[in-house]
Structure 1
Amino acid sequence: MTELEQIENRVLKLSPADFEKFRKWFREQEWDKWDRQIERDSDFGKFQALTERVLADHAAGRTSPI
């Protein structure tokens, strides 16, 4: 049995309360990883073209308030 299969089996055996705690923890891990990826992408300028386009659209009056 692989390590992943062992983890899956353990998760399936959690009580509802522990599963909820695990689920919250896991989501936080996902969001933290996503945040770090966005920060890296930003640091490398991956959003520069998009930022320029959005600012140009706003300056040209092609945006509306949310």
Structure 2
Amino acid sequence: MSLQELENTIAKLPPDEFAKFREWFWEFDSAQFDKRIETDANDGRLDSLADAALRDRANGKSTPL
């Protein structure tokens, strides 16, 4: 199925089915994002960001949330 066919199929969903699809896709997309973050963290790709944040915190450049 092409992307265009998928888009057309989704566009034709009745509102209740579209709501179910939207919820499913949100969960699917979130899981994919979480996997990517975990992989990047395990591979050290986020180390420089973490180091910069810790440096800023130590230098008083952060604010409480």
Query: How far does residue 8 in structure 1 lie from its aligned partner after superposition?
Result: 2.4
Partner of 2:49: 50
Q: Where has structure 1 moved over 6 Å in runs of 4 or more?
A: none
**Counterparts of residues 2-41 of structure 1 (less than 5 Å):** 2-41=1-40
C-alpha separation in 1, matches of 2:18 and 2:6: 13
> Hey, what's the Cα distance between the residues in 1 that align with 2:25 and 2:7?
13
Structure 2 runs not aligned, ≥5 long = none
**TM-score using structure 1 length:** 0.84
Count of residues paired in the alignment: 65
Distance 1:56 1:30 in 2: 32
1:53 is displaced (CA, Å) by 1.1
What is the identity percentage for the equivalent residue pairs of Structure 1 and Structure 2?
37
How far the C-alpha of 1:22 sits from its partner, in A, is 0.4
- Which stretches in structure 1 are left out of the alignment for 5+ residues? none
